[in-house]
Amino acid sequence: MPNAFNFGISPFDCLGNDERQLVRDHLDIAYFRAGDTVLDPATAPTHLFIVIKGTVEQRDGDELVDRYGPEDSFDGRALVAGKVSSRFVAAEEVLAYQLARQAVAELISRNATFGALLFADLSKKLSALSARGSQHEMQSLSMARVGQASVRPVQTVDAGTDIVSVVRVFSDSRTDHVLVRDTLSTPPRLGIFTTTGLQRAILHGTPLDQLPVRELATFKLVSVSPDDYLFDAQAVMIRHKVRRVVVAHRHESGDEAGSEIILGTLDQLDLLSFLSNHSYLITRQILEATDLDGLKTAAGQINGLISLLYRGGTPVALVARVVQELNAQLFERAWRLIAPDELVDNSCLFVMGSEGRGEQLLKTDQDNALILRDGYAPPADLADICQRFSEALTDFGYPECPGRIMLSNPEWRHSASEFGQTVRRWLVMPTPESLMALAIFIDAHAVCGDAHLLEDVRAEVFKLVTDNDALMARFAAAINAFESSQGWWNRLLALGDEDQLLDLKKAGTFPLVHGVRALALAHRIPATGTVARIEALAADSRLPPDLATSLVDSLHFFMGLKLKTGLEALERGERAGGIPLNQLSSLDRDLLKDALGVVKRFRTMLHQRFRLDMV
């Protein structure tokens, strides 16, 4: 029995000691000359092979389906199915471990994770990996629920209670806030009053024993569910700029459907006890910054936070959620420091692309624009103001957009009516450039000013795409924009080539994101995030449920792989680029093949849906 077997490779790294011994007891070594057939459809499979040296090609007829190099295993699916579906041929001299079929069957029955990683589809593999790491992840904020945190019980007072009496409640209950129930309001309302309101109470001028708390309470409660992730609660606090949220359970059915039971409050300090990062400190730095240098300091800490979260096991979707909220706070504060208040109040600053969709992680090119309220006369130095904003973001580490899609470009700052005309021109006289501008625009997310200005302009898009099949076909055809004669599959199969870099955006992310965007636009789904669009399409039976799940999993895998390689590049002092295929682990390469296979299946569906072969 070989003693050098590496139990650190997938899927053997999930085995326990007894299961590893089972492998040792049933493992042997096989040798194949170049051109030898390792597995053939005409024969029944008897072993699982793990390559030690050399390369094995999987072929369907003359087509190269896959390639396996050192530490890759094949063909688990054949062992489970009891038959080989392809021909496996040694492309050169091959030395491989072979594990007997009965041992593989025993391992599958004992260890569900091993079985899933060996032969399951992408979603099951990722679920198995998630389950394997669940114990570690439960110790991080990402997997903890609001109900697991220190939810504080809360006192409730009538809105007519005077401030002195409320302070007595503070003292008796050792709390710094109370809920305020106003039954005289129509309809009745619930608010909150905290110790920070005492200063305003003193300055009010009314004797405190005669001043009802309703005069100073805040009646716009920000609430979360006990089942929400703590990470989502943190994002809510960042977005609403509050230090605490109300924890409420909402009835979903029965006579009380829609009503809420207040369970207590979650304070920022209590939430921080779950944190192993500094997201709250970054938020405070942003909100309290008095100049651009202060904002630059905060911006410089975001990549470090991303690294901490990702390496701590936080799911990439939640990392992206927090990054979106922090970037929005950063951009808003920078704009308010640069632009006069009147301009801020009469405009809408918005971001687009991956930032708008909430799918950006490490800092990428700027994609932003400005809509001005009709009838508003902007300041004479508007161009200088916008230039200073773009330069500030560049200084913060967000590079200028090569296509100049940014405030400093006058083509991306217009009045609402002018922006509406531009959008209509994109639609009525489409060109490849205008359709890509449209694609970027419908992902827009407001970060400062009057968000209704953006929504009104975006509504023009949905008015004009109704039943315009030719337009939608041209719009969807962008999924083929990055086709190459070689193709991503051949690049992925080129094992051992040190110069092979895969452009993940072109090969996988863009066709997935844009394909979903095209379907959402065709069916007038207003969501801007790719996952939200997929969920809405699946709910409306526009996407098969299994494909919808696989698309979400593939998107998150692409985001995670790009983040992983991007962080590694930053550690080397380099800017993130393509995915170095020769540096991927066998598991990552396997998952990448599965995810790109999902995109290939999705593109086939889009070609049929939009008749792209006729475009």
| CB-CB contact of 434 with 423 (8 Å) | no
Q: Which residue has the higher pLDDT, 49 or 131?
A: 49
Q: What tens digit of pLDDT does each residue of 440-459 get?
A: 999 999 999 999 999 999 88
Give 252's contacts (C-beta < 8 A, 6+ positions apart).
none
Task: List helix spans (H) across 278-358.
Answer: 279-288, 292-299, 302-311, 316-338, 341-345, 353-357
Q: How far apart are CA 227 and CA 137, in angstroms?
A: 16
Q: State the pLDDT confidence band at 231, using cuts at 50, 70 and 90.
A: confident
The per-residue pLDDT for 135 is: 42
The per-residue pLDDT for 96 is: 94
The per-residue pLDDT for 273 is: 53
The 3-state secondary structure of 130-171 reads HHHCHHHHHCCHHHCEHHHCCCECCCEEECCCEHHHHHHHHH
Q: Which residue has the higher pLDDT, 289 or 213?
A: 213
Arithmetic mean of pLDDT, 592-611: 91
pTM value > 0.75: no
Q: Which residue has the higher pLDDT, 561 or 258?
A: 561
Q: State the pLDDT confidence band at 153, using cuts at 50, 70 and 90.
A: confident
| CB-CB contact of 118 with 38 (8 Å) | no
Q: How far apart are CA 54 and CA 287, in angstroms?
A: 57
DSSP-derived 3-state class of residue 398: coil
| Tokens of residue 440, six digits | 């970027």
Q: State the pLDDT confidence band at 3, using cuts at 50, 70 and 90.
A: low
Q: State the pLDDT confidence band at 585, using cuts at 50, 70 and 90.
A: confident
- Alpha-carbon torsion angle 400, 406, 410, 415, nearest 10: -170
Arithmetic mean of pLDDT, 346-350: 97
DSSP-derived 3-state class of residue 477: helix
pLDDT at residue 346 is higher than 60:
yes
Crossing angle of helices 292-299 and 279-288, in 10° steps, is 170
Closest CA relative to residue 179, chosen from 256, 112, 249, 263: 263
Peptide bond into 315 cis (omega under 30): no
Q: Which of 93-107, 308-322, 331-345 has the lowest mean pLDDT?
A: 308-322
Arithmetic mean of pLDDT, 119-134: 59
DSSP-derived 3-state class of residue 415: strand
Residue listed under structure tokens 């898009």:
461
User: CA 288, 289, 292 angle in degrees (round to 5)?
Assistant: 165
Other Cβ atoms within 10 Å of 161 Cβ, number: 20
User: CA 587, 590, 593 angle in degrees (round to 5)?
Assistant: 150
DSSP-derived 3-state class of residue 473: helix
- Alpha-carbon torsion angle 514, 566, 130, 556, nearest 10: -10
Q: How far apart are CA 242 and CA 222, in angstroms?
A: 8
- 407: enclosing H helix or E strand: none
Task: List helix spans (H) across 26-133.
Answer: 76-81, 101-110, 112-119, 122-132
Phi, psi for 430 (deg, rounded to 5) = -70, 140
Arithmetic mean of pLDDT, 266-278: 65
| CB-CB contact of 170 with 195 (8 Å) | yes
The per-residue pLDDT for 127 is: 64
Q: Which residue has the higher pLDDT, 291 or 274?
A: 291
The per-residue pLDDT for 381 is: 96
Q: State the pLDDT confidence band at 167, using cuts at 50, 70 and 90.
A: very high
Q: How far apart are CA 108 and CA 523, in angstroms?
A: 43
| Tokens of residue 309, six digits | 């979260």
Q: State the pLDDT confidence band at 259, using cuts at 50, 70 and 90.
A: low
Phi, psi for 242 (deg, rounded to 5) = -125, 160
The per-residue pLDDT for 210 is: 93
The per-residue pLDDT for 411 is: 93
| Tokens of residue 462, six digits | 């949905």
What b/e string do you get for 576-586 counting C-beta neighbours within 10 Å, with b at 16 or more? bebbebeebeb
- 68: enclosing H helix or E strand: strand 63-68
Q: Which residue has the higher pLDDT, 348 or 429?
A: 348
The 3-state secondary structure of 188-233 reads CEEEEEEHHHHHHHHHHCCCCCCCEHHHCCECCCCEECCCCEHHHH
Q: State the pLDDT confidence band at 490, using cuts at 50, 70 and 90.
A: low
Listed as own residue / partner, the contacts of 395-398 with beta carbons closer than 8 Å and 24 or more positions apart are 395/292, 395/296, 396/295, 396/296, 396/299, 396/300, 396/330, 396/334, 396/363, 397/299, 397/300, 397/303, 397/363, 398/363, 398/364, 398/365, 398/366
pLDDT at residue 266 is higher than 80:
yes
The per-residue pLDDT for 502 is: 83
Q: Which residue has the higher pLDDT, 594 or 97?
A: 97
The per-residue pLDDT for 520 is: 94
DSSP-derived 3-state class of residue 179: strand
User: CA 175, 176, 179 angle in degrees (round to 5)?
Assistant: 90
Q: What tens digit of pLDDT does each residue of 9-35 get?
A: 888 888 889 999 999 999 999 999 999
User: CA 122, 126, 132 angle in degrees (round to 5)?
Assistant: 145
Q: In what order do the strands lie in the sheet with 445-449?
A: 413-415, 368-372, 347-351, 445-449
Q: Which residue has the higher pLDDT, 552 or 285?
A: 552
Q: What is the overall mean pLDDT for the chain? A: 85
Query: Alpha-carbon torsion 297, 300, 305, 311, what sign?
Result: negative
Q: How far apart are CA 464 and CA 435, in angstroms?
A: 13
The per-residue pLDDT for 80 is: 75
pLDDT at residue 61 is higher than 80:
yes
pLDDT at residue 547 is higher than 60:
yes
The per-residue pLDDT for 137 is: 43
DSSP state of 257: T
DSSP state of 107: H
pLDDT at residue 275 is higher than 60:
no
Other Cβ atoms within 10 Å of 442 Cβ, number: 21
Arithmetic mean of pLDDT, 461-485: 79
- 347: enclosing H helix or E strand: strand 347-351
Q: Which residue has the higher pLDDT, 503 or 388?
A: 388
Query: In whole angstroms, what separates CA 383 from the centre of its chain?
Result: 33
pLDDT at residue 587 is higher than 70:
yes
Q: State the pLDDT confidence band at 140, using cuts at 50, 70 and 90.
A: very low
Q: State the pLDDT confidence band at 139, using cuts at 50, 70 and 90.
A: very low
The per-residue pLDDT for 122 is: 62
Q: In what order do the strands lie in the sheet with 177-182?
A: 156-158, 177-182, 189-194
The per-residue pLDDT for 249 is: 85
